[in-house]
Chains A and B, each alone.
Chain A
Amino acid sequence: MSAALTQVVATEPSNRNGYRSFKLGKFELSRDEYFVTVHWPAKGARRSHQMPADAFLRACMRDVAWNFFYGWVNFDHVIGTRNHYGNVDFYAGTFNGTLKAAGVDYVEQFDANLIMATFKAILRDWVNEGFDPFAAPVETGTAFGPKQGENIEAIERTRIATKLMPGLPGDSPLRDDMPVNRAFADVPQDEPEIHEEPGFKGQLHAFSLFKYLSRSDVTWNPSVTAVCKASLACPTTEEFILPVFHGNDRVEWFIQLSDEIVWDVGDKNTGAPRSRVTMKAGDVAAMPADIRHQGYSTKRSMLYVWENVTPGLPQRYESGELSPYPVDF
């Protein structure tokens, strides 16, 4: 990563607003008081796209924290990344049906370390003091305005790595020292009773997942809480909008533990709308391997995201060996 850091291309801070601009291959990224602007070459011309700065930073933050995640992380309907696990595409319009058909899209592949270093440099420069891209909008300050300080602590969070289950010796910690989120003030905080026979001390394990989730200080950022071979339970707490349209390179599953989330589902390649899925407490739904999805949660909710990390899955879905739909009935 250190070599990649030295390859990050950035300008000096703007005299007008204080922000640096960045180059990533032939992409140019800049921000001002309200917007992030991305330029790229296509059809012999310089093309452009704008996003509100807060939306861009929330999306970029997830892409960094999730290490480019599984498949496509669409920042919006135009720009995003595709993970090739070692290399990462950054694209503009490539997965927008209209821009792609018009030939004004552009995609360039980068070593994952370089694009990660560039995105981290962008976050360090563009996230102002008081703005936390992981937080729900009502729980953080504004992303807008000229450059004012930084918030390094907020942007250095990553997905919690759990080997088997939080709270086990040597495994990820529980969240007893974190406060209960305001939206989960009514969630019981009691832990399971564990009664071990003599000789079996420390051999039984249980914890309150709902208590654990009620103390999450971030939104839309899964944490692994159970590992069964290549099957990962990745529950998370959700409020406002999933800052990206996640395009699946494999099937994932959602189990709504509390409250409600509405999902907009679109075609993975074009973004054309396919459905709206409303999930209430106890609902279970698959997100097929050929779609993209974005969720909306008014009341902060608990969502159990369930992933399969069997090696080679993207290729097996891409080749058609595996159906994009997990069950045929």
Chain B
Amino acid sequence: MQVHTVFGSITDYTKGSIELVSGEARHYVFSNIFDVAAKSKPYERVVVAKNMEYVQEVMRAEGVSPWFACGHDEFALCMDGEVTVDFIKMKNPPSTAKNGAVLAGENPEGQRMGHVKLKRGHQVLLGAGNAYRFSAARIGVLMQQTVLGDLSVQKWREICFT
């Protein structure tokens, strides 16, 4: 029998559902990352999951992002498309006490470390103190495991079942 594994994409996804017996749909904070990315601005960091200060952010990868940096490790998972990540070893990295990603300016000071090319299903480590920048020739989708920060965008009513 032919195997067919279903991965969603920004142009082809089907959202699931909640059949309630009691309680409220909003308690499940149910959204879909492709749906969120389809309605987001490029590289807007939209929170789709939040566990106290920890978050999962979805980004619509389109064109070139600003340079970001973070005082702690983060991880990005490419869920759709192809995305290149450039890295710079920052001369003046964000404080390790600072939670979440910050903008690192147009030309972060430091040495170029190299780049990583991601396709769907690839996960990259965004190491603490390294500036990183995404670029995507066609629209892709990233999911980032990080901590709630200044750039995190929360718009739960727009993205979730209520």
Contacts and interface: CB of A to CB of B under 8 A. Distances in A.
Interface stretch (A7-15, A20-28, A278-286): A278-286
A195 B29 contact: no
A4 interface: no
Determine the interface band of chain A, counting residues with CB < 8 A from chain B.
Answer: 35 or more
A197 B147 contact: no
Interface centre among B48, B74, B146 (most CB of A within 10 A): B48
A129 interface: no
B54 A231 contact: yes
B74 to A, nearest CB: 6
B73 to A, nearest CB: 6
A72 to B, nearest CB: 18
Contacts of A209: 77, 121-123
A284 B49 contact: yes
Contacts of B22: 272-275
A306 B5 contact: no
A277 B21 CA distance: 11
A277 B50 contact: no
A329 B49 CA distance: 13
A275 B18 contact: yes
Contacts of B33: 255, 282-284
Contacts of A168: 125
B119 interface: yes
A199 B110 CA distance: 13
A306 B123 contact: no
A276 B28 CA distance: 11
A251 B7 CA distance: 26
A280 B121 contact: no
Contacts of A327: 29, 50, 154, 156
Contacts of B157: 329
A288 interface: yes
B52 A233 contact: no
Contact of B123 (A165, A274, A308, A326): A165
A284 B51 CA distance: 13
A231 B145 contact: yes
A208 B122 contact: yes
Contacts of B124: 192, 204-206
A88 interface: no
B27 interface: yes
B114 A196 contact: yes
B31 A284 contact: yes
A192 to B, nearest CB: 4
Contacts of B121: 187-188, 208-211
Given A185-B3, A273-B21, A325-B27, A200 B114 contact: yes
B45 interface: no
B69 to A, nearest CB: 15
B162 to A, nearest CB: 8
A283 B97 CA distance: 32
A183 B17 CA distance: 24
A191 interface: yes
Given A209-B123, A281-B13, A184 B113 contact: no
B125 A165 contact: yes
Contacts of B50: 326-327
A150 interface: no
B87 interface: yes
B26 interface: yes
Interface string A111-147: 0000000000000000000000000000000000000
Contacts of B156: 327, 329
A238 interface: no
A187 B5 contact: yes
Q: Which 8 A-B pairs rank lowest in CB-CB distance, beginning with the nearest? A: A210-B121, A282-B8, A329-B156, A281-B8, A231-B54, A196-B114, A206-B124, A193-B117
Interface of A: 164-165, 168, 182-188, 190-197, 199-200, 203-211, 225-231, 233, 251-253, 255-260, 272-288, 299, 306-308, 310, 322, 324-327, 329
Given A286-B29, A325-B29, 18 more contacts: A165-B123, A186-B5, A188-B120, A199-B111, A203-B89, A203-B113, A204-B87, A204-B116, A206-B123, A226-B123, A228-B54, A258-B5, A275-B20, A275-B21, A277-B30, A299-B5, A299-B6, A326-B52
